[in-house]
Structure 1
Amino acid sequence: MLINPDIKDFRLAHLFRDLEREVLAQIARHAVWRELDAGEPLFARGDAGKYFFLVKTGAVKLFLLSEDGEEHIMEIIGRERLFAEAVMFMGGSYPVYATALEPSRLIAFDAQFFVSLLRNNSSLCLTLLAAMSRQMHALVAEIDRLTLQSSARRLAQYLLAQPAHKSGSSRQVALPASKQTIASLLDIRPETLSRLLARLTDDGLIAVHADSITILQPTLLDQVL
């Protein structure tokens, strides 16, 4: 049985936070929960883009495959993040593969219904344009980070951007994926990532654990070049 989400489950996502409750209620009636096991595909490249998604728990990797089958991670989508929303405006297919990195719970939104709402509500269009513009600025900053910064700087900024449990001046960061996956995301080799983690550890900036990292000196880590 398909279960619809409640408004409170998604209203804080960037695409919805400025929408009126009546509109949110309509969206909720055309959305369903999706449960994925670790390693379970959500969609493949070329599949019809019928839905866009919000991750509530777990994490999903977006990736492409080279001709020889090598996986290249494009993005890791963590909790409370939307993805694939751009596909509904293009009316096409998904340009990447999506697979759960761990047991995950998502909300799937009906893209066709959402577009029909926009066609009949000009003020809603303007609200969403503002929300997507804010998101675009964030993505441009992310592209700058990946293309203009050194590998050490990219790693430092990636760690600082992750949700963290604070204890005094330190931060405990749970890694959302394997170190190999994170290396692919940051466009560096796994062995380079290992060397960088060792260097930051020797410098007293971080402590590396099995599936987490403690940021011991956040201010100094932010100054890594």
Structure 2
Amino acid sequence: MKPEHRQIACQTLLLTSVPEGEVDRILSEAHVTRFDRGQTIFLQGETANAIYIVLDGWVKLYRIAANGAEAIVGVFTRGRSFGEAVAFRKDVYPVSAEAVTPCTLIRVEADSYLRGVRNSPETAIAMLSSTFAHLHSLVSQLEAMKARTGAQRVAEFLCELAPCDDGACEVTLPYDKVLIAGRLGMKPESLSRAFAKLKPEGVTIQQNKARIADVGRLRTYVEEDPANAWNR
């Protein structure tokens, strides 16, 4: 595994607090896989044997409803992991995963990680932290859909992707804006209007790049009373 791949993996909640010896063992048993755009990573209902860490590109998790409609559950990019909760329980995947851009993933075998849990309390804590983070993210998504304006939801999404907490930065977005709209519970045309409303907050969009003038300022906008945000 390349040193830069190991560095990304070690910064995830899945591995950040795991003892170095266990990290070495887990990653030595993992493997790096490249997926093309549109390629399936796993399907809803398949046995969950692995956890995935995104090294580059974008992945979507989705479910197909009874009426055939696609519901996007989450989107993941560099440094994010997915599949933990069900893999640790040897359950089936409740969603499907697909590469929405060419992407590179680390596949960590669940059995390999669970051996670390048995050997190290720190690894067990890392497992709990990672699964809790995913649960918290889902709760936050539901809260945002109910209590925040469309522009605030988009701003929060950009803040989640930002590599810093304050100051200026640039965020890479997937080219398919329908993906972002689906993740945020919006229509594509509503997403375009939301991006326009964020210009006064220092956000500019150029193709698949979002430039943020001040991440701290944008976070303040996210937490603002929605009644005030609507009036802007």
TM-score normalized by structure 1? 0.82
Partner of 1:157: 156
Equivalent-residue separation in structure 1 for 2:180 and 2:206 (angstroms): 15
User: Is the 8 Å Cα contact of residues 165 and 172 (structure 1) preserved in structure 2?
Assistant: no
Partner of 1:179: 177
Partner of 1:110: 109
Partner of 1:11: 10
Partner of 1:123: 121
Equivalent-residue separation in structure 2 for 1:160 and 1:50 (angstroms): 32
- Assess, with a 3 A threshold, how the Cα gap between structure 1 residues 147 and 7 changes in structure 2: closer, same or farther: same
RMSD: 3.0
Greater share of residues in helix: 2
Q: CA deviation at 1:31?
A: 1.0
Q: CA deviation at 1:165?
A: 8.9
Superposed, which structure 2 residues align to 1:46-85 within 5 Å? Answer: 46-85=45-84
Q: CA deviation at 1:116?
A: 3.5
Superposed, which structure 2 residues align to 1:193-208 within 5 Å? Answer: 193-201=191-199, 203=200, 205-208=202-205
User: Is the 8 Å Cα contact of residues 88 and 115 (structure 1) preserved in structure 2?
Assistant: no
Superposed, which structure 2 residues align to 1:85-100 within 5 Å? Answer: 85-100=84-99
1:212 to 209, 214, 222: 209
Q: CA deviation at 1:148?
A: 2.4
Counterpart code for 1:87:
V
Equivalent-residue separation in structure 1 for 2:113 and 2:163 (angstroms): 33
Unaligned runs of 5+ in 1: none
User: Is the 8 Å Cα contact of residues 64 and 96 (structure 1) preserved in structure 2?
Assistant: yes
User: Is the 8 Å Cα contact of residues 4 and 29 (structure 1) preserved in structure 2?
Assistant: no
- Assess, with a 3 A threshold, how the Cα gap between structure 1 residues 130 and 91 changes in structure 2: closer, same or farther: closer
Equivalent-residue separation in structure 2 for 1:221 and 1:45 (angstroms): 34
Identical aligned pairs, as a percentage? Answer: 25
Partner of 1:29: 28
Q: Which moved more, 1:100-109 or 1:214-223?
A: 214-223
Equivalent-residue separation in structure 1 for 2:6 and 2:188 (angstroms): 41
Q: Which moved more, 1:33-42 or 1:120-129?
A: 120-129
TM-score normalized by structure 2? 0.80
Unaligned runs of 5+ in 2: none
User: Is the 8 Å Cα contact of residues 175 and 212 (structure 1) preserved in structure 2?
Assistant: yes
Equivalent-residue separation in structure 2 for 1:4 and 1:206 (angstroms): 34
